[in-house]
């Protein structure tokens, strides 16, 4: 039927369909790994975020005041409220919990963006501290990107503890630490050397810090190079942990999508161990970020190891559009059912029967010149008009004709 093959020209409708289809894929894939969906409140206590240091930038939070004068924030991230939700549940005693979420987060924009609202889709695995858990979560990130249709992407894996261990030995001022982080993140080796030289640090610490931005590439090569800058037992433990994670990822057969980056620094200070982010070709920002945060649960009164990641759904959509991976199959346009006044009851009954068969139906009273094609309930006959004209007597006959596409 012509009514059945028309395509929507509404850009907003199409964009929503693409986003909804993407979210459906993410939710389906998360579920296949045993994760169950939960939700958290849109409004959160500001004090909760204020008490957890070095998480979301306080200036980026969107604050409101309720009737009692209490300061609230529109939920600025997913990990903190998900952690609170889990560790404060009295029925959970530290057993493994697999949860996922899809909801909007709210922040004052920075840079060129003007959007205060964005969608995140993430998973959180609580109660499992093993390298196998780290590897599984990273493998899930790879699996979803492949399923969406990306071929050229990388998951960069680092370790929050590696850099922190060196910094503790260096004992830098906050200003020097900030500058060092910026130099490492930008891999600015030209300015790194004179910056480190002016600091009063042991030569072996200077050499290790200088090497960090260069520890980037294939896992086997980076792990081998890292051995030369191990300073103590803690750093050796970190290296062993990374090796164990990489070995499991090898068994998942995803190493082609993995890069080790020991210069990876995440501004969320609650990350304790493995951290990672995902990049898609030709997109200059990560589409997903995650890591292990074993100490965050203690902020809410319970020791519970955890690892997770979140997709920035809107950035993922940008990548999908740029890579022309949209595959939205337009639903057939609604069937239009016209009727004259005397046939209204019969027409509306037919419309309801079609809807119960999951057809989309719009009903309209027939006016002169309004019906070039469609289902018509006239005074003397009922007719389905497409390229041909076919009459019917009962609703059952009409359904059969619609199922055949009007042919």
Q: For the chain, what is the radius of gyration of the CA atoms? A: 28
Average pLDDT of the chain, as a whole number: 88
Residue 330 confidence (pLDDT)? 62
| DSSP single-letter state for residue 69 | S
Angle (nearest 5°) at CA 261 between 259 and 267: 125
Structural domains of the chain sorted by starting position, each given as residue range(s) with its CATH number in brackets: 10-322 (3.30.930.10), 335-403 (3.40.50.800)
Instruction: Give yes or no for residue 202 having a pLDDT over 80.
Output: yes
Instruction: Give yes or no for residue 329 having a pLDDT over 80.
Output: no
Residue 3 confidence (pLDDT)? 43
Residue 110 confidence (pLDDT)? 74
Q: What is the SS3 assignment for 334?
A: coil
Residue 55 confidence (pLDDT)? 72
Is the Cβ–Cβ distance between 170 and 201 less than 8 Å? yes
Find all residues with CB under 8 Å of 264, minimum gap 6, and list them: 156, 157, 158, 275, 276, 277
Task: Look at residues 315, 295, 311, 316 and name the one whose alpha carbon lies nearest to residue 80.
Answer: 295
Q: Per-residue pLDDT averaged across 259-277, rounded?
A: 86
Distances (CA, A) of 249 to 239, 241, 279: 15, 13, 18
Separation CA 238–CA 304 (nearest Å): 20
The structure tokens 């006044």 sit at: 341
Q: What is the SS3 assignment for 373?
A: coil
Instruction: Give yes or no for residue 351 having a pLDDT over 70.
Output: yes
Instruction: Give yes or no for residue 53 having a pLDDT over 80.
Output: no
Separation CA 345–CA 383 (nearest Å): 16
Residue 6 confidence (pLDDT)? 40
Indicate the pTM of the whole model.
Answer: 0.84
Instruction: Give yes or no for residue 350 having a pLDDT over 60.
Output: yes
Task: Look at residues 209, 230, 228, 226 and name the one whose alpha carbon lies nearest to residue 163.
Answer: 209
Q: Per-residue pLDDT averaged across 306-324, rounded?
A: 93
% of residues, the chain, pLDDT over 90:
57
Strands 97-106 and 36-37, by their bridges, are parallel
Q: Which range scores top for mean pLDDT: 209-213, 296-300, 304-308?
A: 304-308
Instruction: Output the CA torsion sign for 310, 313, 314, 320.
Output: positive
Identify the weakest region by mean pLDDT among 35-39, 81-85, 268-272.
Answer: 268-272
Residue 167 confidence (pLDDT)? 80
Q: How many CB atoms lie within 10 A of CB 123?
A: 26
């Amino acid at each position: 039927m012509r009514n059945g093959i028309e395509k929507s020209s509404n850009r907003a409708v199409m964009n929503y369909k693409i986003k909804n289809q993407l979210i459906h894929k993410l939710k389906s894939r998360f579920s296949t790994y045993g994760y169950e969906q939960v939700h958290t409140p849109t409004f959160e206590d500001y004090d909760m975020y204020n008490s957890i240091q070095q998480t979301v930038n306080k200036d980026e939070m969107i604050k409101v005041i309720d009737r009692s004068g209490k300061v609230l924030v529109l939920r600025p991230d997913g990990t903190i409220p998900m952690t609170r939700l889990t560790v404060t549940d009295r029925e959970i005693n530290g057993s493994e919990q697999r949860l996922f979420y899809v909801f909007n987060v709210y922040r004052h924009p920075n840079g060129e963006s003007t959007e205060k609202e964005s969608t995140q889709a993430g998973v959180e695995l609580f109660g499992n501290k093993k390298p196998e858990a780290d590897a599984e979560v990273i493998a899930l990130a790879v699996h979803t990107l492949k399923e969406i249709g990306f071929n050229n992407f990388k998951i960069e894996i680092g370790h929050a503890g590696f850099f922190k261990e060196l910094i503790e030995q260096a004992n830098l001022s906050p200003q020097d630490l900030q500058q060092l982080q910026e130099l490492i993140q930008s891999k600015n080796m030209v300015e790194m050397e004179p910056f480190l030289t002016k600091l009063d640090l042991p030569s072996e610490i200077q050499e290790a810090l200088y090497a960090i931005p260069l520890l980037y590439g294939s896992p086997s090569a980076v792990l081998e190079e890292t051995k030369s800058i191990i300073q103590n037992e803690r750093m050796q433990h970190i290296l062993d942990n990374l090796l164990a994670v990489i070995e499991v990822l090898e068994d998942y057969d995803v190493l082609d999508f993995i890069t080790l980056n020991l210069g990876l620094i995440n501004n969320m200070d609650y990350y304790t161990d493995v951290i990672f982010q995902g990049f898609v070709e030709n997109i200059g920002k990560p589409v997903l970020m995650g890591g292990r945060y074993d100490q965050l649960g203690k902020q809410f009164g319970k020791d519970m190891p955890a690892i997770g990641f979140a997709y920035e759904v809107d950035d993922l959509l940008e990548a999908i559009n740029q890579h022309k991976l949209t595959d939205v199959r337009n639903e057939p346009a609604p069937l239009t059912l016209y009727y004259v006044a005397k046939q209204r009851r019969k027409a509306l009954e037919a419309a309801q029967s079609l809807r119960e068969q999951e057809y989309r139906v719009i009903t309209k009273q027939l006016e002169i010149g309004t019906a070039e094609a469609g289902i018509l309930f006239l005074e003397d006959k009922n007719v389905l008009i497409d390229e041909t004209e076919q009459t019917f007597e009962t609703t059952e006959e009409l359904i059969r004709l619609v199922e055949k596409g009007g042919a």
